[in-house]
Structure 1
Amino acid sequence: MNTRQRNAARRRVFYFRALDILGLGVAVAAGVTVLSNGAPLTARLMDAAPLVMGAATMLGLLRSLGLYRFDKGHGFLPHLFAVGCVVAIGGIVTLVLGLALHGAPATPWRDYGGWIASVLLLLLTLHAVWSLLVTSWRRKGALTPNIAVVGATRHAERLIQEALQRRDLNVLGVFDDRLARSPDAVQGVPVLGEANALLNHRLTPYVDRIVLAIDPKAEARVRDLTARLSALPIRLTLLIDPKTAEQRNAALEKLSQAPMAPLEGPVDPDRRAFNKRLQDLILASAGLALLSPLLLILAVLVRLDSPGPSMFRQRRHGFNQEEIVVWKFRTMAHAAADACAIRQVTADDERITRIGRFLRATSLDELPQLLNVLRGEMSLVGPRPHAIGMKTGAIESARLVADYAHRHRIKPGMTGWAAVKGSRGPMHTAAEVRRRVQLDIDYIERQSFWLDLWIIAVTVPVLLGDRMSVR
């Protein structure tokens, strides 16, 4: 399971909270129906207010007390006990507010008591299911962190030895710039190359955290490694050599903790990623449903225009260097297909078919990538995915810009900031590569729900209004 898939597993906590909100919303509606004698539309605000406030109190406490974290060290029964306490507090709020609004003689104690008992049963059932699911994911390794160690040092040797004993960390490999004096393996974990190899190593898409196991006093080396590896969307941790067994266990416990995403914080990256994924699922599903007739017509036209399949598949870079297979309508003659984009498209390129020119001019050839979006490999908005091994001139594009790997810190998109700013299609010079990468980095730093909606809204007018770009 690569990093993208593992991050998706961690963000399932947001679905948990959404179902809790939905369940309590249904419970409030049912309670109001009972209190209004089966006529909820005519219910008074005074009847609904105690139930609404009680439910809001429960949801607030579930979030603020961290009951959506499902940390590894938290037991099943203590978690359910905490949920029960939260319902009790929310129930007290409901009863007190009902007493204040209705007075003692008129307060429907039996109805409120029945509602509180129903909510208790509902939330205990839901959180029992959530806890069992998280336990199952941990058992399968979906939430066990994968780490790569930089530095074949005694620090690394101790870390790996302890990790093997604890079995709650997976050490995938060791990287060290001083290969001439590094062993072939550290405690059985292979030394796979220099630190820079992490930027495009085949294991990188599976790494959750990079641990710098070097002497913290070597400040210049720490700064250099941090600067080089910061291009990757992977957290860096500097391992301070613990002196005692207790300190070593504490350090490893921090590394091994893989809690589900917390829900607090206005700039929580997991919340932002969840919102972006929800946006992708809703819009891509709607788009695929509405455009299905058009997709079928285009597929038939491609087959009629030239021999070969209607679809073209190409391996491209996804999030964190992951290799993904991107779908497009075929726009070139089948025999001239260039899966690695070694030769980029030029004006009047003889390889492009008649229908292919129309598809490229309108970017309709990209529509099948809605399937990649639904699979979670791509997003509607993001840096455009480049073919693996794509060349600009005679040089691989990734080698022309030092910050090229930064564009893989987010999932690639069907459209993006660079596309609507005029940087789209093939890149024939190093300057064009640098501009594309800079625009991609600008988008990654500014990404938000509303920016994505704006980019989606202006994509079609921008693309159709550009007659000069070669695509």
Structure 2
Amino acid sequence: MDLFNARSRIDSAASSGFGIPVERRRRLSPAALAVTNQKVRPAYSPVIITGIVRAADFLLLSLIGIALYLGYVARIDGFSWSFIASILAMSATAVVCFQAADIYDIQVFRSQLRQITRMSSSWAFVFLLFICASFFVKLGDSVSRLWLVAFFLAGLAGLIAGRLLLRTMIRRWARDGRLERRTVIIGADMNGENLINALRAQEDSDIEILGVFDDRNDSRALDTCAGSPKLGKVDDVLEFARRTRLDLVLFALPISAETRILAMLKKLWVLPVDIRLSAHTNQLRFRPRAYSFLGAIPMLDVFEAPITDWDMVMKWLFDRLIGGFILLLISPVMVLVALAIKLDSPGPVLFRQKRFGFNNERIEVLKFRSLFHDQADPMATKVVTKNDSRVTRVGRFIRKTSLDELPQLFNVVFKGNLSLVGPRPHAVQGKLQTRLFDEAVDGYFARHRVKPGITGWAQINGWRGEIDNEEKIQKRVEFDLYYIENWSVLLDLYILFKTPLALLKSENAY
């Protein structure tokens, strides 16, 4: 059986011994499986690391300066807020100077001598600025020379100690693979070999090349490309990215291969990864600002992973803080709903259902049970319709008002596999008549480039409830993709505030 041509889909005909449909996943080559079976830890964002180091430098210097001031100067001359303001200004200036000296870079953090030399000279420059400023405003006599020398030496010692500790942590994270961008190359030919060799020639590169993918089976496609194995065809990248961490996809094809590139991008743009087109062998050159660079290698950005770095941190805080507050606020309502379900029909209060999560992962979401227990449908093989006999009396009310969704707050606050706001997670066997949703809508899986949510842009615009025609699923995907491309914390707040009003329009919810 051809390992590369088995189509990825959910086969409702296949079943286990208990009659529960199971998923048939796309088969990968032995080389690809060898990569996906490796234990991989989550990556750390260099943007967040450098941001934390900036804040740590400011706090460290401020605390050292204030502690020395309170321990010596304030005891003799009395307390003055202007001195505190000067210390904070010096600490902020130091961070600006460190930034100008290119100290805040992961590669610099790995180098002991280079970062300490730059940091020491920048810290000395800050004190020269302070001394000059004190001279021109005639404050030199009011500044304690002993405090100034102590602040310089103690601050420098604190910075050096912090950098040595940071260097140790960075090197450990690098060994664990947390700072590397796991990368695959599209194009197993000479262009691919040239790109891989160029990437490996970069000093202190954070690129880890996992392998290459190529659709061609002729002599142009190499089995190994500059020592990197061919892992499969381009269609296999989707399944590969589901099974292991993938951060970057690089096309080694020339720009002249426009038709092939567009065909492949149509398949891969649904992935939550950065996709770039190598330009290092192209004769056509643009201005430098048109490129992004991997070391010295020019790249054309095609797609970027959404909601990354500090945006991800903001989204995480938003979900935990706002979600926790809402959970506390509505806990009495949840208790009443649980009691009504228990009194209305036998069976558990909560219902667990497999749904699509981030990057097509299968997650288990919690809901209040709205169907009779003996007619539960955990795989959602049959859509709930109007006057469905499987729905209980209480279930009909909580589905109409979306109260059945409230337990998903536990997914948000405690499990972290849902967000408050995002594309609604569909059941893994969600269908439009006889077709799975991904078969009915092109680019359906692109809505899984971010974490799904309890409510979303599609829901407040009227696209909720039963999906019984093609327009309804197409509109949901369209609105979900708009949300992903235009995400902001303010948009999330707007959607949250609009959700109660949208729930009043429940003509499609059964």
TM-score interval (norm. to shorter): 0.7 to 0.9
| Matches of 1:131 and 1:211, distance apart in 2 | 30
Pick aligned residue for 2:363 from 312, 324, 333: 324
Residue 422 of structure 1 is matched in structure 2 by 462
- Amino acid in the other structure paired with 1:281: R
Contact map agreement 1:46 1:101 (CA 8 A) in 2:
no
| Matches of 1:155 and 1:189, distance apart in 2 | 15
Cα distance, 1:8 vs. partner? 5.9
Question: 1:133-155: per-residue Cα shift (whole Å, max 9, x none)?
Answer: 23222211122222233233344
Question: 1:55-79: per-residue Cα shift (whole Å, max 9, x none)?
Answer: 1112223444443431288413433
Cα distance, 1:224 vs. partner? 3.4
Pick aligned residue for 1:442 from 482, 501, 506: 482
Cα separation, partners in 2 of 1:118 and 1:457, compared to 1, 3 Å: farther
- Amino acid in the other structure paired with 2:237: L
Residue 86 of structure 2 is matched in structure 1 by 50
| Larger CA deviation: 451-460 vs 218-227 | 218-227
Residue 138 of structure 1 is matched in structure 2 by 174
- Amino acid in the other structure paired with 1:417: W
Structure 2 residue matching 1:389: 3-state secondary structure: coil
Residue 128 of structure 2 is matched in structure 1 by 92
| Matches of 2:89 and 2:125, distance apart in 1 | 11
Pick aligned residue for 2:265 from 226, 230, 236: 226
User: 2:377 matched to 1:338?
Assistant: yes
Contact map agreement 1:4 1:319 (CA 8 A) in 2:
no
Structure 2 residue matching 1:148: 3-state secondary structure: strand
Residue 400 of structure 1 is matched in structure 2 by 440
Pairing of 1:183-332 with structure 2 (within 5 A): 185-186=223-224, 189-193=229-233, 195-199=234-238, 203=242, 206-239=245-278, 270-291=309-330, 295=334, 298-299=337-338, 301-332=340-371
Given the two structures, how large is their TM-score scaled by the length of structure 1?
Answer: 0.79
Structure 1 residue matching 2:147: 3-state secondary structure: helix
- Amino acid in the other structure paired with 2:421: V
Residue 460 of structure 1 is matched in structure 2 by 500
Residue 74 of structure 2 is matched in structure 1 by 37
Cα separation, partners in 2 of 1:400 and 1:12, compared to 1, 3 Å: farther
Structure 1 residue matching 2:142: 3-state secondary structure: coil
Matched residues, number: 450
Cα distance, 1:197 vs. partner? 4.2
Structure 1 residue matching 2:406: 3-state secondary structure: helix
| Matches of 1:303 and 1:185, distance apart in 2 | 61
The unaligned stretches of length 5 or more in structure 1 are 244-250, 256-266
Cα separation, partners in 2 of 1:52 and 1:159, compared to 1, 3 Å: closer
Contact map agreement 1:314 1:339 (CA 8 A) in 2:
yes
Pairing of 1:146-157 with structure 2 (within 5 A): 146-156=182-192
Residue 246 of structure 1 is matched in structure 2 by none
Pick aligned residue for 1:175 from 191, 195, 213: 213
| Matches of 1:226 and 1:97, distance apart in 2 | 57
User: 2:146 matched to 1:110?
Assistant: yes
- Amino acid in the other structure paired with 2:74: N
| Larger CA deviation: 55-64 vs 11-20 | 11-20
| Matches of 2:246 and 2:46, distance apart in 1 | 15
Question: 1:161-208: per-residue Cα shift (whole Å, max 9, x none)?
Answer: 898999975444543333577879536735433x24434556476221
Given the two structures, how large is their TM-score scaled by the length of structure 2?
Answer: 0.74
| Matches of 1:284 and 1:12, distance apart in 2 | 26
| Larger CA deviation: 164-173 vs 217-226 | 164-173
Cα separation, partners in 2 of 1:182 and 1:302, compared to 1, 3 Å: farther
- Amino acid in the other structure paired with 2:466: P
Cα separation, partners in 2 of 1:364 and 1:180, compared to 1, 3 Å: farther
Cα distance, 1:437 vs. partner? 1.0
Cα separation, partners in 2 of 1:45 and 1:9, compared to 1, 3 Å: closer
Residue 431 of structure 1 is matched in structure 2 by 471
- Amino acid in the other structure paired with 1:377: N
- Percent identity between matched residues is 30
Calculate the aligned-residue CA RMSD, in Å.
Answer: 4.0
Cα separation, partners in 2 of 1:237 and 1:414, compared to 1, 3 Å: same
User: 2:392 matched to 1:356?
Assistant: no
| Larger CA deviation: 218-227 vs 20-29 | 20-29
Cα separation, partners in 2 of 1:128 and 1:312, compared to 1, 3 Å: farther
| Larger CA deviation: 135-144 vs 329-338 | 329-338
The unaligned stretches of length 5 or more in structure 2 are 1-37, 283-292, 298-305
User: 2:114 matched to 1:78?
Assistant: yes
| Larger CA deviation: 226-235 vs 54-63 | 226-235
| Matches of 2:492 and 2:134, distance apart in 1 | 44
Pick aligned residue for 1:6 from 13, 27, 43: 43
Cα distance, 1:227 vs. partner? 4.4
Contact map agreement 1:315 1:324 (CA 8 A) in 2:
yes
Contact map agreement 1:425 1:469 (CA 8 A) in 2:
yes
Contact map agreement 2:69 2:147 (CA 8 A) in 1:
no
| Larger CA deviation: 444-453 vs 161-170 | 161-170
Contact map agreement 1:2 1:207 (CA 8 A) in 2:
no
| Matches of 2:139 and 2:108, distance apart in 1 | 46
